[in-house]
Chains A and B, each alone.
Chain A
Amino acid sequence: MKIPRSWLREHVPEDLALAELVALLGELGTPVESVREVGEGLDGVVVARVADIGAIKGADKIRVVQVDAGGDDLVQVVCGAWNFEVGDLVPLATVGTVLPGEFAIGRRKMKGVESHGMLCAPDELGLEGDHSGILVLPTGLEPGVPFAEAMGITRDVVLELEVNANRPDAMSVVGVARDLAARLGLPFSLPEAKVPDPVGERRPTIVNEASDVCGRFVGQVLGGVAVGPSPAWIASRLALAGMRPINNVVDASNYVMLELGIPNHTYDLARLPGGGLRVRHARDGEVLVTLDDVERRLTAEDVVIADGEDTPVGIAGVMGGASSEIGDDTTEVLLEAAWWKPIAIARTSKRLNLRSEASARFEKGTDWTMIDLAVRRFAQLLGAVPAGPAVDVGGQLPDRAPVRLRVDRVNDLLGTSLAREAIAAYLDPIGFAATPDGDDLAVALPPWRLDSATEIDVIEEVARMHGYHAIERTVPRSPNAGGLTPYQRDRRLVRQILAGEGLLESWTTTFLSGAQIERCHLDLGDTVTVTNPLVAGEDRLRPSLLPGLLASIAYNESHRQPGAALFEIGKTFRRPVAGMTLPDEREAVAVAVAGGDAGDAVTAWHGLVEGLFVADARLEAATAPGMHATRTARVVVDDVGIGFLGEVDPGVLAAAGISERVAWLELDLERLLSSNHGADQYRPISRYPSSDIDLAFEVDDAVPAGDVLRTLRRGSDLVVDAQLFDVYRGGQVAAGSRSLAYTVRLQADDRTLTDDEVAAARAALIAAVEGSHGAMLRG
């Protein structure tokens, strides 16, 4: 909402420093987004007529222009704009002018040609508009007249306010003025709008068949209208408020809307068959061409205004139709000012994706008691004479019973100690008339604040008028011990472990394209789809962190950063499991090491096993979508598969534009952290000597070395540690097998082991490995 300060001052006689005004509007909940000072720096700018345009030798972007600026001689300027012709009127900043932004105009020479001033674009004059060309002025102005005088520009400040959904009143100049007056303790006034008595008895026929949506409909015929430009002061004010002046009828209508917050509509009575209006619900599929020349298809939920022959001429509260638009030949106007149910207008506007200044106000809620003044104000501004009395048709209006406001409740919620009288004094000036009701207050709800309906709404008004800054700050004491959940603590540990492995934490977007998912061989059919994606095609929620991290690796490779070693923790999504509404949403952890191999994935995994003290973990040879066919293992914890590690399928890498190998690990973090893990009870360290034995087995290639290791670790109570230390193929070892050499440490808690005990344990381990894995001890 853009409000010229001069307009505001017509309703509240404020005289604040600009910075104070801006701060105060912010404190009132209508923060100032921008401040534009207009009319500054226009001294020295005059109207000039273009008399001649000539080329400059050796220049193809600038031309030499002679203008008549009202003096005896033409003025020569050099200009880089091409949007005007000989005879056009343009603004000339004469030598010595200081334009807005401290832009001083001096005598200059360009390509050897003297320039005695500058022709101005709108932005250079501090006006609405861009820098694409010189401002070409309306015809009929006298050259040499000061530009500001010719255009009716007086010094002003335009305040652009941000208006929240709960402030319908702030969608009008008087609403903002009322709020300011209340806070400043100044008088607030509405325009008087004296209008001559009607000269006739013309009463338009108005029928309201949609009284559920239309709460009030007022129509009045105005005669003696001559369509033409508005007076300069109206046109200038509208322009400052960001609305393009069109003609006196449309401008008066817009002026009333901006000033009083009452959108209204004007019909050319001559183009309105039947001469009357009928408000009714639309028929499903009914069609109307709106003022913006777009055909709109309606439903029974929408309300239309139809003419006397039942043809729709406007969508209620949103936009009028093209057929009865005011034209140059309009002489009689039918003015409509109505109240529409906010939710109905919001629905229609949203479904048609058609938002207008009117719908923005109606959907927040307008003040039906202001309609009478709006009708008079329109006639006054247009200088038109009513051809008959206003016809006023009723409908269902909101129930605005007074609200009981408990003084204790106000103070309990705000942390204040306001007396009842002080509260009433805050509320009265903004229309929430408060009268004593026992110890409390009965508060009337103003029709311009339809957002306010309950006690808490009124408490907010008290807080606003008291000032948020004036409420004493306190800090409550939590009776709880703060802290993270075990899962959250473990997740931090996972991050620290992976960072300790030299990995950089990344975060990738949740949105993927179907093609990205398919390139990784992931199941597109199991993904969740965004129905209204911002970027067409990027409509899938990631089922895995793989596509995102591969994209990051490719990005780094293309920026001469090969070898990116990344990890990520984030949510992945699959379609809901049976009986659920929401997706199967799981937090995953993934590691991707460009230029690495499966060993890097195993290293990262072992870092997690050791760092988290995972009790029962193993790897099983496996295949998985997107992963290397022969270098992949399933990660099994507590006998449940929680993910895969190894390398990414070279074909997938090629499709992602990655030239290096990529080690990959992706786990279901929730399952990992719900597994049996964590350092538990202290195990005493044996004070007796240990014995190390080395065992080498010939084992078929199909048997994982890890399985043999698990057998050794469980093969005797005396085993305290076992490690694989050598893998050997060829030589004496049969083809299809390899030699796996382990070192095993034996130790008892309570004694030194005898040679016999060591020998017995060794025999037991050999028997276990040979028996379980078809392995053979090597001599």
Chain B
Amino acid sequence: MDLLADANKQIADAETLAALSALETDLLGKRSAIARSKAALGELAPEERKHAGRELNETRAAIEAALRSRRAELEEIERSAQLEAERLDLTELRPRRTRGHLHLVTQATDDLVDTFVGLGFTVAEGPEVETDWYNFGALNFPPGHPARNMYDTLYVDLGEPESTLLRTHTSPVQVRIMEQQPPPIYAVMPGRCFRRDTTDANHLPNFHQIEGLVVDHGITFGDLAGTLDAFIKAFYGGDIQTRLRPSYFPFTEPSAEMDITCVFCRGAGCKTCGRTGWLELGGCGMVHPNVLTNVGIDPEVWSGFAFGFGIERMTLMRHGVDDIRELISNDVRFLRQF
């Protein structure tokens, strides 16, 4: 079996795929020893021919197998060499494009809105410059009513003096939505509001609120308390408690202020909550019958509740930002944090 041993040695010695191809021709081609031996088979006696033929085929098959195996080896070596040549330190690479970020107020608004959408609420919006009627009159603040002093209103130079203003709350959207669609209404209304407040760590002259309105048959104060509780648990976590306290807004009655368990100390009492364990979140109440009447909804047939929360305040509380002015600094080091 010199032929096979010799072939195996040559195959093992082939260092490249090209050399292996050339060797394949030498070993198995028309001019190879095998080919020649095959041609010479006819000269043998039949018995011998059968035996030699089988032996020759076996040798050929063995050589082919050796070639295949060596080719696979050489291909693997070549691939490895290629990959090695492409070696890269990925930590040298810089991102081709950095991802931008949504503003924290946007993120909070979307989260708030999505929570209410999950409760079956639609989302409405309205103008930021409003008439006195939508901001006050329709909401049961008659002209000259002292409750108007609760809001430091900014007026604009349109129409009669003090007839148009920058909305002091998102509540005008309540009126607009009730004018536009019949009950049942389940809606939230996020948006920018304005007050004549000096900018400091807790106040901005423009800020954002989210307003909620439900008008349906048989809506109760218990529904208000239950809905807000469900919302707060979804937004801040199930361990946060809510409580309502009597308060006053002309457009709701009974009116309430909502407190939640302090999200910093989880109710234990800390500096932020003045050691009470509670934080004041916003106002709410049953829609005042006069408001329903003003928009042509019969308060004897329908009832509803409304609420309004400051988005910045909720955002600052959620992320531990201690100065509201960060939100409008637009400092890229702040914007990239969220």
Binding site for B on A (CB under 8 A): 26-29, 31, 164-167, 342-343, 346-347, 350, 363-364, 412-416, 454, 456-457, 459-460, 463-464, 468-469, 471-485, 488, 492, 495-496, 498-511, 528-534, 541, 549, 552, 555-556, 559, 561, 564-567, 570-571, 573, 575-576, 581-583, 585
Contacts and interface: CB of A to CB of B under 8 A. Distances in A.
Contact of B117 (A416, A484, A573): A484
Interface stretch (B9-17, B42-50, B326-334): B326-334
B313 interface: no
Interface in B122-154: 122-123, 125, 127-131, 144-147, 149-150, 154
Contacts of A528: 129, 156-158
22 contacts: A165-B150, A167-B248, A350-B144, A414-B221, A456-B289, A457-B253, A463-B246, A468-B246, A471-B225, A476-B216, A476-B223, A478-B214, A480-B122, A504-B335, A505-B101, A505-B103, A510-B194, A528-B156, A528-B157, A566-B332, A570-B192, A585-B129
Contact of A482 (B122, B144, B216): B122
Interface stretch (B32-40, B65-73, B85-93, B105-113): B105-113
A534 B332 contact: no
Contact of A581 (B119, B159, B186, B329): B159
B198 interface: yes
Contacts of B222: 414-416, 471-474
Contacts, number: 249
B47 to A, nearest CB: 61
The 7 closest A-B pairs by CB, nearest first: A478-B120, A29-B246, A415-B222, A415-B220, A164-B248, A473-B226, A499-B100
A497 to B, nearest CB: 10
A505 B289 CA distance: 41
B330 A566 contact: yes
B155 A555 contact: no
B332 A561 contact: yes
B252 to A, nearest CB: 9
Interface residues of B, number: 88
Nearest to A499: B100
Contacts of A556: 330-332
A478 B150 CA distance: 33
Contacts of A414: 220-222, 254
Most buried by A among B156, B163, B192, B244: B156
A413 B157 CA distance: 41
Nearest to A496: B102
A582 B214 contact: no
A476 B158 contact: no
A480 B229 contact: no
A31 B245 contact: yes
B164 interface: yes
Contacts of B99: 499-500, 502
B5 interface: no
B254 A463 contact: yes
Contacts of A582: 127, 129-131, 158, 164
B155 to A, nearest CB: 5
Contacts of A503: 100
Interface in B218-232: 218-223, 225-227, 229-230
B60 interface: no
A499 B101 contact: yes
A212 B229 CA distance: 47
Nearest to A29: B246
Nearest to B257: A31
Interface string B295-338: 00000000100000000000000000000000111111101100
B333 A561 contact: yes
Contacts of A468: 221, 225, 243-246, 254, 256
A507 B244 contact: no
B238 interface: no
Nearest to A506: B330
Contact of A475 (B102, B223, B286): B223
A126 to B, nearest CB: 18
B230 A475 contact: yes
B248 A475 contact: no
Contacts of B105: 507
A561 B335 CA distance: 12
A507 B108 CA distance: 14
Contact of A476 (B157, B219, B333): B219
A350 B149 CA distance: 9
B246 A534 contact: no
A165 B146 CA distance: 7
Given A412-B220, A581-B164, A583-B129, A505 B98 contact: no
Contact of B197 (A167, A460, A533, A534): A534
Contacts of B204: 509
A489 B221 CA distance: 32
A70 B212 CA distance: 67
A460 B254 contact: yes
B184 interface: yes
Nearest to A350: B149
A511 B121 CA distance: 32
Contacts of B332: 504, 556, 561, 564, 566
A472 B192 CA distance: 33
B205 interface: yes
